[in-house]
Amino acid sequence: MTTQATTMDGAPPDIADNAARNKLVIALLLGSTFVVFLNETMMSVAIPQLMADLHILPNIAQWLTTAFLLTMAIVIPITGFLLQRMNTRPVFMLAMSTFTLGTAICAASPGIELLIVGRIIQAVGTAIMMPLLMTTVMTLVPPETRGKTMGNISIVISVAPAIGPTIGGFILAYLEWRWMFILMLPIALGALAVGSNRMQNVTTPRYAPLDIVSVLLSAIGFGGLVYGLSSLGEGEHVGAAFPLWLPLVVGLVGMALFVWRQIILSRQDKALLDLRTFLSRNYTFAVLTMAVAMMALFGTVILLPIYTQNVLGLDTLQTGLLLLPGGLLMGLLAPPVGRLYDRIGPTKLLVPGTALVSAVLWALTRVDQHTSVWAILVGHIIISIGLALVFTPLFTAALGSVRREMYSHGSAILGSVQQVAGAAGIALFVALMTIRTQALAGAGLEPVSALAGGIQLAFLVGAVISLFAILTAFFVRKPEGGGPGMGHGH
């Protein structure tokens, strides 16, 4: 890690100090990101129990996850601005204190409304954390060892969500749902205390304007799309108030206006998200592949617990344990995949990875109430191996394809796409499951068979979408050199 110390500060005597400082900063960011990501998926196994405890329908319960992802999608574009304007330490303090406040609200909430508010506040903190980690790593780590470092980040991104459902299931087996937040609170406070004591500034802030119109347009665009997809699952409940397609149309128009405004503002270097990162063809293909992979991951993460608990009759703890091996394997594979990336580049990892994900989604279109739990376990392990081969190469290739001064924009766009795709995946899968289940139940099928049929349809659409990821994977290459002169492939 010595090369970057000279490039950043140009002061050879400080090289050892800088290397130690950089390692400490990256370690603190990795630890705190682990905490916020753990929280993101602990809720997935709790959804069926919350539906029973709070007497709410699946389409209301999914807002605990959808509102979280939606908030992240709205906040992440603003993090590009924050990371340019503010130093590392104040951005970190803002992220962790917001997250801690949200956790406290969730722990104290009496019902669904305040719980969703707490989740939204948590999401603001989570949204800032991920681009902060990515941008800091891209600034401090030289290109030749980036795959290895991104492998470590992938451990955080994959193990935390993977053990989240298991920890959630374990807590729910013995305690009520509020304990998921009560137990998270001291961990968040601990991360905040250590960070406030040890976190140092490693970036150089510069002036960046904040375009309020862009912030509003991104909220309307991302918000409309996710809300529109979510309300498709509510069918007749919403039909009376306004047509189902309206939020989707508003979202698409908002998105188009947002993109148009960013293109105009980028000519004066004033864009909220600088879309010139897409001039790199490699970045574009990596982001497209990431979007499909995230839809598959989040759609599966939300559907599998509903399936195992409501169709196969497992409890939350058994569901958590069932999903644990795949998640741990995903984390264990991240560092070797990162090292492989440094040696052989992304294409040879991405193509088999996306093919494995697709194969499992096609297999899941056959599940019903008679499917063996062991088959689900094997399927989840295989899809986890596939995703492990996908995430590290995509992060590294995408961010390595943009110029140094565009890192904050590159990581903010990648984060926004991740969250919107994740939210869209959840909304789409739940909507399809709900519509199909209601139709089958209306045709006289018993509830369990009807739900199994709904889940089959959701996985079928996921399987079709996954074919696009295999296609785009062929076009992702290793960035040349990885240094400041990138942005080839116009």
What is the 3 state secondary structure string of the chain? CCHHHHHHHCCHHHHHHHHHHHHHHHHHHHHHHHHHHHHHHHHHHHHHHHHHHHCCCHHHHCHHHHHHHHHHHHHHHHHHHHHHHCCHHHHHHHHHHHHHHHHHHHHHCCCHHHHHHHHHHHHHHHHHHHHHHHHHHHHHCCHHHHHHHHHHHHHHHHHHHHHHHHHHHHHHHHCCCCHHHHHHHHHHHHHHHHHHHHCCCCCCCCCCCCCHHHHHHHHHHHHHHHHHHHHHCCCHHHHCCCCCCHHHHHHHHHHHHHHHHHHHHHCCCCCCCCHHHHHCHHHHHHHHHHHHHHHHHHHHHHHHHHHHHHCCCCCHHHHHHHHHHHHHHHHHHHHHHHHHHHHHCCHHHHHHHHHHHHHHHHHHCCCCCCCCHHHHHHHHHHHHHHHHHHHHHHHHHHHHCCCHHHHHHHHHHHHHHHHHHHHHHHHHHHHHHHHHHHHHHHCCCCHHHHHHHHHHHHHHHHHHHHHHHHHHHCCCCCCCCCCCCCCCCC
Whether residue 133 is found in the same domain as residue 279: yes
Question: Looking at the 3D structure of the chain, how many domains does it have?
Answer: 2
CATH number for the domain including 29? 1.20.1250.20
Whether residue 154 is found in the same domain as residue 104: yes
Whether residue 221 is found in the same domain as residue 117: no
Whether residue 61 is found in the same domain as residue 166: yes
Whether residue 238 is found in the same domain as residue 318: no
Whether residue 29 is contained in a domain is answered as yes
Whether residue 334 is found in the same domain as residue 444: yes
pLDDT the model gives residue 415: 77
The whole domain housing 19 covers 14-210+272-473
Per-residue pLDDT of the chain (490 residues; tens, 9 = 90+): 333 333 343 434 345 567 777 777 788 888 888 888 887 777 767 777 788 788 887 767 777 877 887 787 778 778 777 777 777 788 888 888 999 999 999 988 888 888 899 999 998 988 888 778 877 777 777 777 777 777 777 777 767 766 777 788 788 878 888 888 898 899 888 888 887 777 667 666 666 677 788 888 988 887 787 777 766 655 544 445 667 778 889 989 999 999 999 888 888 877 777 888 888 889 999 999 988 888 877 787 778 888 888 888 888 778 878 888 887 888 888 888 888 888 888 889 999 999 999 999 999 999 888 888 999 999 999 998 998 898 888 888 888 888 877 777 887 788 778 777 877 787 788 888 888 998 998 888 888 889 999 999 999 988 998 899 899 999 988 887 543 333 333 3
Whether residue 71 is found in the same domain as residue 134: yes
Whether residue 124 is found in the same domain as residue 267: no
Whether residue 343 is found in the same domain as residue 261: no
Whether residue 246 is contained in a domain is answered as yes
pLDDT the model gives residue 238: 43
Whether residue 249 is found in the same domain as residue 395: no
Whether residue 356 is found in the same domain as residue 298: yes
Whether residue 265 is found in the same domain as residue 404: no
Whether residue 65 is contained in a domain is answered as yes
pLDDT the model gives residue 379: 93
Whether residue 490 is contained in a domain is answered as no
Whether residue 58 is contained in a domain is answered as yes
Indicate the pTM of the whole model.
Answer: 0.76
